[in-house]
C-alpha cells in the first residue's frame, strides 16, 4: 500500500501543533511536510519543514500533488493590526493554498474556519470565514472538509487574554451548555486536531462541514458509521 503524504499549513498554532503530532504518529503518512514561516524547534524522521514567505505560496506547489492538505492558518484582529491584514491571513492565504491544491491534484483539503461562518454575518470575523467557505466550495475540490470549532481551549504559545478569560468563564458556567447552547460549547484544540485527522483517514469525496459539537465525537470515533456530518455538495 502506497504511503500517504500530508502537508500542514499552520503547524505552530494551537490546533496545528496538536495536528502535527497526530500526523507524525500515523504510520499511514510516509512524510509530513510542515509549511512554516520559521524553522520548527524539533525534528522527526518523517517530518520535512519547508520555510517560505507566505506571500509566495507558489513555492510550495511541488509538495501538493496527491497529498492530504491541512490548513490551520488563522490570526486575530489584534495580532493582524487591521481588517486588511486579517483578511490576508484568514481568507487570501487559505484560498490560494486551496487553488494550488486543486491545480496540483491534491487528494484532500481540510481546513478550520469557525462556528457561525456566514458571508452575510454582521460580524466581520464570521463574514470573512463565510466568504472563504463559499469561495472554497466554488473551487469544486474533489474532497473538501471544513471544521467549525467554537472557542478553542488549550495552551497557546502567545497569550490571548480575552480567550483565556472566556475559557475560564466557560468552565465556571458549564451548566449552561445544554439544548441549543450546546453548539457553542468550547472545544479543545486536541479534539479539533483529532477530528481533522480522523476525517482525513476516511478519504470521503465531496464537500462536508463539521460543527463544533461533533468534533469531540469525531476525535474519538474510529468507525465510519458512527459519524454525523453535514454534506454540502
* 3-class SS string, 52-80: CCHHHHHHHHHHCCCCEEEECCCCCHHHH
- Does residue 161 carry a pLDDT above 60? no
**Beta-carbon contacts of residue 148 (< 8 Å; ≥ 6 apart):** 113, 114, 115, 116, 117, 209, 210, 211, 212
Q: For residue range 86-98, what is the model confidence (pLDDT) as tens digits?
A: 999 999 999 999 9
pLDDT at 177: 46
Give the helix/strand (H/E) hosting 69: strand 68-71
Sign, Cα dihedral of 204, 144, 59, 16: negative
| Separation between Cα atoms, residue 232 and residue 187, nearest integer Å | 23
| Side-chain-side CA neighbours of residue 21 (13 Å) | 12
Q: Which of 72-76, 124-128, 137-141, 174-178 has the lowest mean pLDDT?
A: 174-178
| Separation between Cα atoms, residue 194 and residue 201, nearest integer Å | 11
pLDDT at 70: 98
- Does residue 7 carry a pLDDT above 90? yes
Instruction: Say which residue the cell 492530504 belongs to.
Output: 68
pLDDT at 230: 43
DSSP state of 181: G
- Does residue 3 carry a pLDDT above 90? no
Calculate the CA 18 to chain-centre distance.
Answer: 11
Which of the four pLDDT bands, split at 50, 70 and 90, describes residue 154? confident
- Does residue 217 carry a pLDDT above 90? yes
Give the helix/strand (H/E) hosting 19: helix 14-25
| Separation between Cα atoms, residue 171 and residue 77, nearest integer Å | 25
| Separation between Cα atoms, residue 132 and residue 129, nearest integer Å | 5
Q: For residue range 22-48, what is the model confidence (pLDDT) as tens digits?
A: 999 999 999 999 999 999 998 999 999
Amino acid at each position: 500500500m502506497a504511503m500517504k503524504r500530508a502537508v500542514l499549513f499552520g503547524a505552530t498554532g494551537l490546533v496545528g501543533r496538536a495536528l502535527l503530532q497526530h500526523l507524525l504518529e500515523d504510520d499511514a503518512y510516509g512524510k509530513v511536510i510542515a509549511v512554516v514561516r520559521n524553522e520548527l524547534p524539533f525534528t522527526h524522521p518523517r517530518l520535512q519543514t519547508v520555510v517560505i514567505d507566505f506571500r509566495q505560496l507558489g513555492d510550495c506547489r511541488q509538495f501538493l500533488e496527491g497529498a492530504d492538505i491541512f490548513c490551520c492558518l488563522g490570526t486575530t484582529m489584534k495580532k493582524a493590526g487591521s481588517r486588511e491584514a486579517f483578511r490576508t491571513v484568514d481568507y487570501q492565504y487559505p484560498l490560494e493554498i486551496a487553488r494550488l491544491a486543486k491545480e496540483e491534484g491534491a487528494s484532500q483539503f481540510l481546513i478550520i474556519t469557525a462556528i457561525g461562518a456566514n458571508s452575510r454575518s454582521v460580524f466581520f470575523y464570521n463574514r470573512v470565514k463565510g466568504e472563504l467557505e463559499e469561495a472554497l466550495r466554488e473551487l469544486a475540490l474533489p474532497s473538501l472538509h471544513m471544521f467549525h470549532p467554537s472557542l478553542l481551549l488549550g495552551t497557546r504559545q502567545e497569550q490571548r487574554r480575552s480567550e483565556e478569560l472566556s475559557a475560564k468563564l466557560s468552565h465556571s458556567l458549564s451548566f449552561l451548555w445544554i439544548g441549543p447552547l450546546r453548539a457553542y460549547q468550547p472545544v479543545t484544540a486536541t479534539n479539533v486536531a483529532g477530528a481533522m485527522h480522523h476525517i482525513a483517514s476516511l478519504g470521503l469525496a465531496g464537500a462536508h462541514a463539521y460543527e463544533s459539537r461533533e468534533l469531540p465525537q469525531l476525535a474519538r470515533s474510529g468507525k465510519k458509521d458512527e459519524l454525523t456530518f453535514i454534506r454540502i455538495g
